Structure 1
Amino acid sequence: MSINVPRATTDSFTISAASLSASPNSEFGGRRSQCGSPAGSGRYRSSSAQVQRLSGGASCRSERRDGVIIQDVNANDALLTALQRERFVPDRIDAFAGAEATAKYGDVRVSPGEKLSVERTANAPELEWQLRENDSGAHTVLMFDVDAPSRATSHGLCWLHWAIVDIPGLDIVRGAEIVPYAGPTPPKGSGPHRYVLAVYRQTRESSLPQLDRPRFDPLRFAHSLALEPIAANFFVAENE
């Protein structure tokens, strides 16, 4: 199973949304396209890709992979549409610009909505996100299952799989891991579970709250610490 994510369009071509390469397990992929770099456009930085903010709120992300420049326009808009369709926004995350958090499990980069095996996701992913220019603030990372114990019986609460606070820049290892990573363990026969990775900018120093894994409310938690969502991604896993 994969989550169907609409493709973003421009006046001249159709492109894949948010993912820089098509995945055989996701409907998020599409063809590669060129995008412009107008003078004066705002620039964001990422350790893995270059992102340019174009006129009208569109975005252009480029990455060199195997000698090929892969570029993606309006990725943020399409990702936000997917998050809204799944009701992650606004039910679990406040509305935000829709930037993708880049997550990699080993050599597999997560395309939003992609189905991954429980075995593949057993260990914590590598995670990166776009930083504002001259952004020296701290960040919080959460991963939660929105379908625990099953989609029919979750009652709007989540199972918390990972929580790190006080991350300086992109340096996750220097953050405070208040809930250690636990890979997806959906009950057998409970159907597909959706797992959300969310990144927040901290507006004040964290007080290192005590968190329980079951019946976790990410929206309430974010509001309690005045966290500002800046990036997200999600995947699907199932114990078949």
Structure 2
Amino acid sequence: MASCVDPLVVGRVIGEVVDPFVPSVSMSVRYGTKHVNNGCNLKPSMSADPPSVQISGRSNDLYSLVMTDPDAPSPSDPTMREWIHWIVVDIPGGSDPSHGKEVVPYMGPRPPVGIHRYVYVLFRQPCPCPAIAPPASRANFSTRAFATQFNLNLPVATVYFNSQKEPMNRKR
């Protein structure tokens, strides 16, 4: 009997960024026409601008969205794990991050070396978030600590993509 292998486990998102969870909300992430599937590859130039994110769920539910890079500055030596790329809170279900409160402005991927994972984690909020101050640094963020601090429990959806530094165009 064949078993299904979870790409979040294979990609070490579960374990390094979040604990095991059961998805309960649908989240669609798109950069232009490119739909983000777990483990797909995107060039930094394709993901320089904020994506289109669509969240299912009831309109009276609120969600928090976190985007991190657990491989900063390099996958073999992630001493800055996790690098925070985006935080939006108080997103109503059935909408997108533009309807929420941006805590940390979007920063597109800029992997200096190696193949980096960029992880979107969605949490259901038990209530509106209090005023949140952005972290002093984007380095050494912890998705788990963020969830604990704001009583978010386990994620309700997660998706990630891979990206690596694009070669410089050579002038001849």
Q: 1:164 to 1:136 in 2, by over 3 A?
A: same
Aligned equivalent of 1:158, options 82, 103, 106: 82
* TM-score w.r.t. length of structure 2: 0.84
Deviation at 1:84, TM superposition (A): 2.0
> Residue by residue, what CA displacement relative to the aligned partner does 1:58-98 show, whole Å, maximum 9, x if unpaired?
xxxxxxxxxxxxxxxxxxxx5xx221233322332132213
State the one-letter code of the partner of 1:154: P
Q: 1:147 to 1:95 in 2, by over 3 A?
A: same
Question: Highest CA radius of gyration, 1 or 2?
Answer: 1
Distance 2:69 2:123 in 1: 17
- Name 1:196's counterpart in structure 2: 119
- Tell me, which stretches of 5 or more residues in structure 1 are unaligned? 1-5, 9-77
- Is the counterpart of residue 105 in structure 1 residue 31 in structure 2? yes
- Name 1:57's counterpart in structure 2: none
- Is the counterpart of residue 146 in structure 1 residue 101 in structure 2? no
* TM-score w.r.t. length of structure 1: 0.61
Identity over aligned residues, as a percent? 32
- Name 1:87's counterpart in structure 2: 12
Deviation at 1:193, TM superposition (A): 0.5
- 1:212-223 equivalence runs, <5 A: 212-223=137-148
Question: Residue 120 of structure 1: SS of its match in structure 2?
Answer: helix
Distance 1:181 1:93 in 2: 21
Aligned equivalent of 1:181, options 103, 106, 109: 106
State the one-letter code of the partner of 1:139: Y
State the one-letter code of the partner of 2:124: R
Question: Residue 209 of structure 1: SS of its match in structure 2?
Answer: coil
Distance 2:35 2:44 in 1: 15
> Residue by residue, what CA displacement relative to the aligned partner does 1:125-150 show, whole Å, maximum 9, x if unpaired?
1112332xx46111001111110000
Distance 1:89 1:156 in 2: 18
RMSD across aligned positions (CA):
2.1
- 1:62-141 equivalence runs, <5 A: 81-98=6-23, 101-131=27-57, 134=58, 136-141=60-65
How many residue pairs were aligned?
160
> Residue by residue, what CA displacement relative to the aligned partner does 1:102-122 show, whole Å, maximum 9, x if unpaired?
110011111210111110000
Whether contact under 8 Å (1:129, 1:231) holds in the other structure is: no
State the one-letter code of the partner of 1:140: S
**4+ aligned runs moved over 4 Å, structure 1:** none
Distance 1:152 1:91 in 2: 14
- Name 1:237's counterpart in structure 2: 163
State the one-letter code of the partner of 1:112: N
Whether contact under 8 Å (1:138, 1:201) holds in the other structure is: yes
- Tell me, which stretches of 5 or more residues in structure 2 are unaligned? 167-172
Whether contact under 8 Å (1:165, 1:208) holds in the other structure is: no
